[in-house]
Structure formats: structure tokens, C-alpha cells
């Protein structure tokens, strides 16, 4: 079974993609137009239009807005 783990309360804004088995920490905001990779661990707020990957998520890329259209 694939799922997303949310620890406490978090906010996911518009046009976000969250991969399977991703974990989002307590009080974290995922800004608009973000892509969170499968299995990523998000412990801090993200900026708009960013891509995060890894078990201690790091900024992988900041694509242009046309990627999310």
C-alpha cells in the first residue's frame, strides 16, 4: 500500500505533487507548485516551484513555471 505520512498538522498549497511514501513533518508548509519525490522526508517549509528528493529532502531543482502548466 502506498501512502504519504504526515506527522501532525501541515499545509499543502495548490498544484503540488507528492510522491508515494513521502513523509511531511509537523507544522511544515509545502508551497505552491512543488514536486516532492517518492520517499522524501520534508522537515522544513518549502519555497514555491521547487523539486525535493531524498530521505533528508534537499532541493533538487527549481524548474520554470512552464513545467507546472
pLDDT of residue 2: 62
Per-residue model confidence (pLDDT) at position 42: 93
CA distances, 56 to each of 14, 36, 44, 69 (Å): 23, 12, 10, 28
Place of cell 505520512: 5
State how far the Cα of 62 lies from the Cα of 52, in Å rounded to an integer. Answer: 9
Question: What pLDDT digit, counting tens, does each position of 33-48 carry?
Answer: 999 999 999 999 999 9
Report the pLDDT value the prediction gives residue 64, as an integer from 0 to 100. 62
With a cut of 50, which residues of the chain have pLDDT below it? Answer: none
Nearest in space to 65 (alpha carbons), one of 18, 19, 31, 33: 33
Q: What is the pLDDT of residue 19?
A: 93
- The pTM is what? 0.79
Answer whether 29's CB lies under 8 Å from 11's CB: yes
Amino acid at each position: 500500500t502506498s501512502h504519504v505520512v504526515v506527522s501532525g498538522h501541515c499545509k499543502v498549497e495548490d498544484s503540488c505533487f507528492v510522491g508515494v511514501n513521502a513523509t511531511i513533518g509537523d507544522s511544515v508548509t509545502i508551497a505552491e507548485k512543488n514536486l516532492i519525490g517518492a520517499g522524501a522526508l520534508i522537515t522544513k517549509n518549502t519555497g514555491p516551484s521547487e523539486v525535493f528528493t531524498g530521505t533528508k529532502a534537499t532541493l533538487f531543482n527549481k524548474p520554470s513555471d512552464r513545467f507546472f502548466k
